[in-house]
Amino acid sequence: MRIGRAITKDGNAMWCEYADGRVYGLDFKSMHRGEELDAGVFLAPVRPTKIVAVGLNYRDHAREFDLDIPAEPIIFLKPPSSVIGPGEDIVYPRGVKRLDFEAELAIVISRRCKAIPREKAKEYILGYTCFNDVTARDLQSKDGQWTRSKSFDTFAPLGPWVETDLEDPGNLSIVSKLNGKVMQSSSTSNMIFDVYYLVSFISNIMTLEPFDVIATGTPPGVGSMDIGDTISIELQGIGELRNRVSTQ
């Protein structure tokens, strides 16, 4: 099932299901499909309390920069205020000299969890979606840590929906395209730490709430974006997230 959120033409925000090229209302508690919607705007599929992102989680990305494989996941946070949905603009902040895209598979948490073992992690995953870990690369280098460079409003494009029926998140093609040109092309099989390990590891550090997002890292080939560019993130079995870069 592909679930998300939309604003109808009468201005109401509601849960929806995407099926057969159409959009339907959805009772989230029962997962019962309602009537077809005349949707006007599609929102980010969930509103997380936090985004936990993972750095350097692809072997081919580590090889790209001749870096050692980390012994444990390297994690950082992005604020919920950075989330935008499919079709919304990524805003290029004033004063930033380089703005980068990073294609990622995102895990969406289904229910509150704390200190869960890896073998039970799947029970707490609602599904998966596409994520773009937008980064002000010059500020990341300047600051020596990642908070400012990762946290501007619009720096967490998410969507277009949550795919709940993905059987094997460990073997998906992941691609980014800048203005239609392929920039990143890899597979989630190149992850150093798989999705179930990450859910367990992070839940042993902090409580995960419903709809929290774990961004699982990016493969090699990250690059810069300019105002007017269109960046798309494509994940096999999930879909395509597309956003345009605009001026502030």
Q: Which residue shows structure tokens 């300019």?
A: 226
pTM of the model: 0.96
CATH topology of domain 46-247: Fumarylacetoacetate hydrolase; domain 2 (3.90.850)
Give me 161's structure tokens.
Answer: 């929906």
What residue segments make up the domains of the chain, in order of their start? Answer: 1-43, 46-247
The torsion region of residue 146 among left (phi > 0), alpha (psi -120 to 50) and beta comes to alpha
CB 5 within 8 A of CB 89: no
Q: How many Å apart are CA 2 and CA 22, to the nearest integer?
A: 11
Instruction: Please report, to the nearest 10 degrees, the dihedral formed by the alpha carbons of residues 194, 196, 201, 202 taken in order.
Output: 100
Tell which residue, 222, 241, 243, has the closest CA to residue 233.
241
Closest by CA to 214, choosing from 230, 186, 193, 189, is: 193
pLDDT tens track for 23-58: 999 999 899 999 998 877 899 999 999 999 999 999
| pLDDT tens digits, 167-216 | 899 999 999 999 999 999 999 999 999 999 999 999 999 999 999 999 99
